[in-house]
Amino acid sequence: MESPKIIAVVVWYNGLKWVNKCLDSLRNSDCKLTTVVIDNGSTDGSIEQIKAHFPDVILIESETNLGFGKANNIGIKYALERGADYIFLLNQDAWINNNTISNLINVASKNLEYGIVSPVHLNGTNTGLDLNFSRNVSAISCPGFYSDLYINALKDIYSVENINAAAWLITAKCIGVVGLFEPAFHLYGEDDNYIQRIKFHQFKLGLVPSAAIYHDREERKGLPNSVGIKRKIPTNKLTLILNINNSYLKSYAYILQYAIYLLVKGFFIKSLSVAIDPILRFPYYLKIRSRHKQIWKGL
């Protein structure tokens, strides 16, 4: 049986400190893969380092910062055009074990209902789970995982409600139905939106305990409590209003709840903007929602 074609996609922006750890880990993977780096206009020497030490990496340079989703879309299109069976998205500040991708593919190939599978996300020092990841695998969001972990009876895969896109293995079949990341997002929220869309199209999101990555982010300002409320406002609004699993009216009801929350927190102008925007831009959001409900028309 012919081995599946795997292309890893890494979006890059001023991540010089992680070049070696991230790209070395992909180079040392025990399965054959091609690595594509989409650079969002780095100015810290990252590109020079990649060119000098990783000539095998396909480097696509953007003069401007396209954001997470749009840059990933470039890499995903590149992979699909070259017949990839699986696309592995990895953050620049993360790295893998040599068996991470092969373990993910082994499980994904036996569980075809899963459009995306994720490894366990450990922190950058390998001293525990990444905190934001641990919130996503609670007893409610990922039934059975913690209990099975404690009694040493882990299953091959667990259905999970949400896992951020720091390390996703996506099947080409899933992308062929769901499509690319929504370009209306710039940074934060595009992965939440994509998960909403795979669920609408009857795919599952899975966690594979036998695979792991290391995500080096907890030391940064604002983490592990995630990004600040001001930064998350536009993201939350979009993820709420573009959730095609809910009617537009139900989505707007959630928007109003969010606007009230902002008002209570003292963000009056933002609260007003969040509440009014889905009314003023109703045709625009409706068009996006309609497109997301359709089978992707391809490249």
Angle at the Cα of 161 from the Cα atoms of 173 and 150, rounded to 5 degrees? 115
Bigger pLDDT: 280 or 220?
280
- Structural domains of the chain, with CATH: 6-215 (3.90.550.10), 229-293 (no CATH)
Tens-place pLDDT, residues 61-88? 998 999 999 999 999 999 999 999 999 9
Kindly report the backbone phi and psi dihedral angles of residue 222, in degrees, each rounded to the nearest multiple of 5, phi listed first: 95, -10
Tens-place pLDDT, residues 164-193? 999 999 999 999 999 999 999 987 899 999
Give the max Cα distance, the chain: 60
Predicted TM-score (pTM) of the model is 0.93
Looking at residue 17, the DSSP 8-state letter turns out to be G
- Helix ranges, 28-171 (H): 46-53, 68-81, 100-108, 131-136, 145-150
Strands (E), the chain: 6-12, 34-39, 58-61, 86-91, 94-96, 114-123, 158-159, 167-171, 204-215
